[in-house]
Amino acid sequence: MLLTSADNPEIKNLRKLLADSAARREQKSFVIEGFKIFQFARQIQTIYAREDIILPAQLRIHRHRYIAPTVFAGISEVENPQGIMAVCRLPEPGQFSAARKYIFLDRLQDPGNLGTIVRTAAALGWDGLICNKGCADIFAPKAVRASMGALFTLDILFAEIGEIAGLSGQIIAADLQGVPPEDLRLDGGYVLAVGSEGQGLSPEVGQCAAQKVCLPFHKNKAESLNAAVAAGILLYELSRRGQG
């Protein structure tokens, strides 16, 4: 089937899912775009391909629709679209386990940073990611693109730090008053808590932390680190400790 009108109900719904987090929650669905992400995609509901795209056989088994090029260009979220997107079902929230490794994001508001952290955590073998209510939508288009499909490979949980504190004795807060990563006491599973770009960690997170960790850096050369960069370095350092 070829969709040729921007007023087609399916096209309108694609726009809605791309733009509106409430619609994503209501429909329990979100949109992925670009060929690379499909290697990790799960629970695909419908694939939408530009009219000139030849879908691989493994994708044609899914319900699929073709879209006229001008219409596709009007809904794509990227500058140079590859001509393919899909609606996927939202993953079921994961179950917390104190024996596993998670990163907790406290009010992280930039979806690009959020997606980058997801991708880094997955690449370094972490088990899951926990977002609290102040975080950007992890299923927003920018976050999904930055994750490059990694959000399909991690357990995604939504909880406040108080809920997690009662289940884990090992909450490690990223804090300027913390110790270097090599001085942490690591035993079994733990939760690394990282704060927002502008405000850092909330007092509640600091109060729940058993340990605090910081990254030494040259403060006379840089005021601070980008949230995704700082999180990535900490994820790596703690993963390296776990392998030693």
By the 8 A CB rule, do 17 and 137 touch? no
Which position has the higher pLDDT, 29 or 215? 29
What angle, 0 to 180 degrees and rounded to 10, lies between the N-to-C axes of helices 111-123 and 227-243?
10
Supply 77's token pair.
Answer: 């979220």
Question: Any idea which residue has 């992400």 for tokens?
Answer: 37
Q: What are 101-140's pLDDT values in tens digits?
A: 999 999 999 999 999 999 999 999 999 999 999 999 999 9
**Interior angle at CA 133, CA 239 and CA 153, nearest 5:** 40
Question: Would you tell me how many other CB atoms lie within 10 Å of the CB of residue 139?
Answer: 23
> Above pLDDT 90, what percent of the chain?
85
Cβ burial, residue 150 (10 Å; 0-12/13-18/19+)? buried
Instruction: Find residue 211's DSSP bridge partners.
Output: 172
DSSP 104-118: EESS---HHHHHHHH
Type of residue at 49: A
CA dihedral 97, 131, 162, 189 (to 10 degrees): 30
Length of the chain: 244
Its pTM stands at: 0.93
> What phi and psi values does residue 200 have, to the nearest 5 degrees?
70, -155
Confidence grade of residue 221 (pLDDT, cut at 50, 70, 90): low
Q: Is the pLDDT reported for residue 3 higher than 50?
A: yes
Report the CATH number of the 2-89 domain: 3.30.1330.30
Q: What are 130-159's pLDDT values in tens digits?
A: 999 999 999 999 999 999 999 999 999 999
Q: What are 33-65's pLDDT values in tens digits?
A: 999 999 999 999 999 999 999 999 999 999 999
Hey, where are the domains in the chain? 2-89, 101-242
Report the CATH number of the 101-242 domain: 3.40.1280.10
User: Which CA distances in Å does 93 have to 28, 78, 136, 151, 197?
Assistant: 12, 28, 16, 12, 25
> Above pLDDT 70, what percent of the chain?
96
